[in-house]
Amino acid sequence: MLDPFSGSGVVPLEAILLSRRAWANDLNPYAYVLTRGKLDAPVSLDSALEKAEALLTKVEKKASGTDLRKVPVWIRQFFHPDTLREVLIASQILKEKKAFFLLSCLMGILHHQRPGFLSYPASHLVPYLRNKKYSPDEYPEMYAYRDLRSRFIAKIERAYRNHMLTSDWKKREYKVWRTNSMNMPIIDSSVNAIITSPPYFKALDYARDNRLRLWFLGCKDWEKLDASLTAHASIYLPQMQRCLQEMYRVLKSKSHCVLVLGDVERNGKTKCTAEIIADLAFNSTQGGFAVESIYDDFIPDERRARRGTQTTKIERILVMRKK
């Protein structure tokens, strides 16, 4: 099972839990870390906590001497200096060790206004400070030092609270790439099924929205990445055409390609993304992709990261088959 736009890694994780072989890919470094984090998860909470303890011991020895002068000002504005020193050391160690589960946990608590997160009060989605709503004078406790240890351990414990890792988790089979889905390192006709959710057309700014996490992951120029992940029609549609051709190439004959797409509404007009992509798939493969079904899935407000938004109300599930 292949997911060429793996995002947070839910689809490949579900495939593994069903004893499938999972292949995943995403160009976004943060999405790659989240996917690897899920698939690389230690077999038990005790094992994860043991690895976390070893990390925290190293962090606490090194953090006090860390020089912050080379850290950009816009990064420093989000954290108490002592918290930032701990996050810097932890992220460096985890990147070097390629410890993706722990690294994804660290990125997951990077910014928010809640006490269990590491930043000064900030939006939990697009990183910006909320110091007007939560001023330092009124809420001094929200600008105090936030220790990494207690928050990191709590995050790991939450990750395992309702986990569904199977008894044969150690035997799981998967591969994860971080490359452009227009050119994947997969041989022809080798994939049994594709289930994926491409970037929403004209909806999200994937790099801008995660610029703080991307900086800690080593992506210093998020604007350059944003240009390659853009949902602007002049770039999105030609890129999607090439991605569809690539999906067709790697998929076995008579196998299915399932795309979860969002209908985007702006200025009173709705982009019917499923129909646009279905036509693109048919034309770019000379009729090799046949549409079997398009399902409408209304998105309830509690499923939204941004509550009350009117931009995307329906997800469309486009089911195609390779002839």
What is the pLDDT at residue 138?
97
Q: How far apart are CA 215 and CA 204, in angstroms?
A: 19
Record the pTM: 0.92
What the block records as the tokens of 197 is 């959710």
Give percent above pLDDT 90 in the chain: 79
Of 124, 159, 194, which residue sits at a domain end? 159
Decide if pLDDT at 268 tops 70: no
pLDDT tens by residue, 35-88? 999 999 999 999 999 999 999 999 999 999 899 999 999 999 999 999 999 999
Decide if pLDDT at 204 tops 90: no
What is the average per-residue pLDDT within 244-253?
Answer: 98
What is the pLDDT at residue 235?
80
Higher pLDDT, 65 or 151: 151
What is the pLDDT at residue 65?
86
Q: Is residue 52 part of a domain?
A: yes
- If asked whether residues 153 and 179 sit together in one domain, one would say no
Decide if pLDDT at 309 tops 80: no
- If asked whether residues 177 and 307 sit together in one domain, one would say yes
Q: How far apart are CA 72 and CA 120, in angstroms?
A: 16
- If asked whether residues 234 and 317 sit together in one domain, one would say yes
Q: How far apart are CA 187 and CA 249, in angstroms?
A: 8
Q: Which runs of consecutive H residues, i.e. helices, occur in 109-203?
A: 148-159
Decide if pLDDT at 234 tops 80: no
Q: Is residue 40 part of a domain?
A: no
Q: Is residue 32 part of a domain?
A: no
Decide if pLDDT at 222 tops 90: no
Stated as kind and residue range, the H or E segment containing 25 is strand 22-25
Of 125, 159, 193, which residue sits at a domain end? 159
Number of domains in the chain: 2
- If asked whether residues 153 and 174 sit together in one domain, one would say no
What is the pLDDT at residue 199?
85
- If asked whether residues 149 and 193 sit together in one domain, one would say no
Q: Distances in Å between the alpha carbon of 303 and those of 14, 147, 219?
A: 18, 30, 29
Instruction: Kindly tell me the number of DSSP H helices and DSSP E strands found in the chain.
Output: 11, 8
- If asked whether residues 181 and 147 sit together in one domain, one would say no
Q: Is residue 197 part of a domain?
A: yes
Name the CA dihedral angle for 28, 113, 200, 7, rounded to a multiple of 10 degrees: 40
**Residue labelled with tokens 């929205």:** 209
Domain CATH code at residue 299: 3.40.50.150
What is the pLDDT at residue 267?
61
- If asked whether residues 253 and 107 sit together in one domain, one would say no
Higher pLDDT, 84 or 311: 84
Decide if pLDDT at 271 tops 80: no
Q: Is residue 35 part of a domain?
A: no
Q: Is residue 33 part of a domain?
A: no
Q: Is residue 268 part of a domain?
A: yes
What is the average per-residue pLDDT within 117-128?
Answer: 95
Decide if pLDDT at 185 tops 90: yes
Q: Is residue 136 part of a domain?
A: yes
Name the CA dihedral angle for 133, 136, 141, 142, rounded to a multiple of 10 degrees: 50
Q: How far apart are CA 15 and CA 176, in angstroms?
A: 13
Could you list the residue range(s) of the whole structural domain that residue 82 is in?
45-159
- If asked whether residues 128 and 87 sit together in one domain, one would say yes
Of 138, 159, 180, which residue sits at a domain end? 159
- If asked whether residues 80 and 177 sit together in one domain, one would say no
Q: Looking at residue 198, what DSSP letter applies?
A: P
Q: How far apart are CA 228 and CA 212, in angstroms?
A: 18
- If asked whether residues 49 and 10 sit together in one domain, one would say no
Contact 167, 16 (CB under 8 A): no
- If asked whether residues 23 and 49 sit together in one domain, one would say no
- If asked whether residues 177 and 147 sit together in one domain, one would say no
Task: With cut-offs at 50, 70 and 90, classify the pLDDT of residue 181.
Answer: very high
Decide if pLDDT at 310 tops 60: no
What is the pLDDT at residue 298?
84
